[in-house]
Chain A
């Protein structure tokens, strides 16, 4: 703590230096723009802008990069809310309630909720990182292959929440996602699977390409449909006074929702390999489970947006824990930050706090400030950004279509990705007509590789130890995760039973 206070004053000096502050704000703004364009990710924004920070002094450079990271993760929510397309994978869960809100003409509600909860989540994540990093990293190290397997399995039970209408369709979607994830080089063993002679398919199907396909293309097609059938599914956005305050008051009255989501986000973040996408989905799932009105989720409630956004911005802080304490990047954007640190002559790891305490604390505190800047930008911008969907579909649809192509090409500079995106888009359109939710499909795609790696590695460890039982079922974190899996999988039945019981007791009391 003494150390912290000592560095605090110096850090404040760096942060509120006018040019530093402006560069950071510019970083946040640039991050938001990149983040909201599907296909351009936080990782790419950082990689492109890292060279510009070479000439800056380390504190300025890191503040700018931190701002970009924070901004890009938030920016992903804008396209998620307005056009049902997560701008970054972190915003997948934001679409579930964000887009229905837009359809009801309440885009501003969703955008303000996103800005506010992102800000709160981001600040909580950064503070946890600042004070608890050495403690949190111990948890991260306890995560071995069996824990990854159970974590992924737990993640798959979210399908039950996402497919309230038909569990069967949810499971089919999830399985499809798992199968898509097997395309390419096996993560362990290195065999080629389902590449059909295309060398590009060695790399597998990129998640973002699938996201654009499954979420965005069906949306474009239904816009076109609307023009043809002259049916208006999306209500026009009209700016109303007091919306922002209303939303913020509503969310502030539920501090538990924001804090719980932020803590989930931070913890998922510290586990290398599980990123903001998993964080958002898990928090969304928990928000539904803890809610008194779970049936309203998915129809457009601000709580759904808040759960996802608070969590994925808290994940930023979490993902930096292994980087700053161990020198291991926990997420792809953190890997780019690591490269930037090394080029500035700083080696990420425990020495960072000792040798470069000044700069490290400046960076950490600037993350808090960047989150506040992001909130301000998001808050005041919401009204204007929400108007975008008032554009006539004849402008909007081709514009988005153009973006999908650029986005899916630029993720790996690969033309095959564009064709895959179009193919998946058509598939997604058909599936939507058949009432399949795209959520379970991408969930399967995200969790499949994590589960597979965990399973195969655990089996290898089990073989050398001579006991499968011991590896899978006796480790403490594994047991907790197994219990969570069981609760989550049987939750619909538990809540049904609960409701019935409550209904009966209410019935009795009203009668008597």
Chain B
């Protein structure tokens, strides 16, 4: 009899701890009753937020989008006076999370991290990505990750010119690694091919980590990579060009594609968005909170040190940026007649 009691107790402990863990991971529902009572109320401003906000990360934990959200989480909680629950909805290179976002109630209590060019390229390249670029309603864009082209230290190429000249004489001979198809890296490669009139062999991996490993192991000749990865490995590689608008602080000796005469600024930019139809007043409260973080000097310094470009685009600037990039990329893909399967 005593044994049975013990087992019952054990079962309870297991169940309770389970409830706890689940509560931590997906607890937005459990916390809905919680009201943040000490909210300042003014006549013009809507009473927002009065309950926790869900911050969807459409990628796996540990990725850069996650790291960024975790960096913002305490500052957001302070600025908005409510709890921020980070939930992961990974899959389809972000598409699953973004589709989820546009179908949630547009009340400002669900926001999601967004990545450009993902939100532009997926709806173009896929038959049914689940969402359209227009349905993504940006609040802010806070971080840029310029894409650079690199070769190993012992490579014969010292400049972008060397690289392009060799490629012109040997079409398809240079293998270039990168992350994903119809992704930021892929589009950077297509742009360079188009602008320089060369042909490269693109060897995509499913993620930045495997493509960097393959490149460092010498399995591909060159690599398109994000600035933070380039900063991490800068002792082992030569960076031929970087996709920033101007020279980038953490890699100040690397020329930009633009200075070298190639009109391209490939970059992965991170921001945050709300569902379409979210009231403007609520959106602007969120926008203000993100602007506060973007102006935080400590956050800026950390970003630069880790190889990111801190950006400061409010909702309007973010929308304009997305529109500009969308035009640029759809034009490029149209010129190339790609992607075929969609036509």
Chain A complexes with chain B: yes
Size of A's binding interface in residues, CB under 8 A: 80
Residues on A with C-beta less than 8 A from B126 are 190, 192, 202
User: What distance in Å separates the Cβ of B110 from its nearest Cβ neighbour in chain A?
Assistant: 12
Report if B278 contacts A (CB, 8 A).
no
Verify A141–B91 contact, CB threshold 8 A. Answer: no
In the complex, which residues 85-137 of chain B have their Cβ closer than 8 Å to any Cβ of chain A? Answer: 87-93, 95-96, 99, 125-131
Residues on B with C-beta less than 8 A from A187 are 206
Report if B279 contacts A (CB, 8 A).
no
Most buried by A among B172, B206, B302: B206
Verify B306–A342 contact, CB threshold 8 A. Answer: yes
Stretch from A255-263, A406-414, A426-434 forming part of the interface with B: A406-414
Verify B92–A43 contact, CB threshold 8 A. Answer: no
Residues on A with C-beta less than 8 A from B203 are 145, 457, 460-461
Separation of A403 and B218 alpha carbons in the complex (Å)? 45
Nearest residue (CB) in B for A466 is B173
With A335-B63, A347-B232, A403-B18 known to touch, is A185 a contact of B210 (CB < 8 Å)?
Answer: no
User: What distance in Å separates the Cβ of A27 from its nearest Cβ neighbour in chain B?
Assistant: 14
Verify B219–A461 contact, CB threshold 8 A. Answer: yes
Report if A50 contacts B (CB, 8 A).
yes
Residues on A with C-beta less than 8 A from B193 are none
With A48-B21, A387-B7 known to touch, is A413 a contact of B172 (CB < 8 Å)?
Answer: no
Report if A399 contacts B (CB, 8 A).
yes
User: What distance in Å separates the Cβ of B127 from its nearest Cβ neighbour in chain A?
Assistant: 6
Verify B210–A188 contact, CB threshold 8 A. Answer: no
Stretch from B22-30, B238-246, B264-272, B317-325 forming part of the interface with A: B22-30
Verify A44–B25 contact, CB threshold 8 A. Answer: yes
Nearest residue (CB) in A for B60 is A332
Stretch from B33-41, B45-53, B64-72, B287-295 forming part of the interface with A: B64-72
Verify A453–B205 contact, CB threshold 8 A. Answer: yes
Verify B127–A46 contact, CB threshold 8 A. Answer: no
A297-328 to B contact mask, C-beta < 8 Å, 1/0: 00000000000000000000000001000111
Residues on A with C-beta less than 8 A from B71 are 343
User: What distance in Å separates the Cβ of A464 from its nearest Cβ neighbour in chain B?
Assistant: 4
Q: Which of B6, B7, B18, B206 contacts A453 (CB 8 A)?
A: B206
Q: Which of B22, B62, B91 contacts A336 (CB 8 A)?
A: B62
* Residues of A participating in the B interface, judged by any CB pair closer than 8 Å: 33-34, 37, 40, 43-48, 50-51, 54, 140-145, 184-192, 195, 197, 199-200, 202-204, 272-273, 322, 326-330, 332-339, 342-343, 345, 347-350, 384-385, 387-388, 390-391, 395, 399, 403, 406, 409-410, 412-414, 449, 453, 457, 460-461, 463-464
* Residues of B participating in the A interface, judged by any CB pair closer than 8 Å: 3, 6-7, 10-11, 14-15, 17-18, 21-22, 24-26, 60-63, 66-67, 70-71, 73-74, 87-93, 95-96, 99, 125-131, 172-175, 180-182, 201-206, 209-210, 212-214, 216-220, 232-233, 235, 302, 306, 341
- For the complex with contacts A339-B66, A413-B88, A460-B201, 11 further pairs of A-B residues with Cβ separation under 8 Å are A37-B21, A40-B18, A44-B25, A144-B214, A145-B214, A199-B99, A336-B62, A342-B67, A387-B7, A414-B89, A461-B220
Can you list 18 A-B contacts with CB-CB less than 8 angstroms, sorted by A residue number? A33-B14, A44-B25, A45-B21, A48-B21, A48-B24, A54-B74, A144-B214, A145-B203, A189-B204, A199-B130, A202-B92, A330-B209, A343-B67, A343-B71, A387-B7, A413-B88, A414-B89, A461-B203
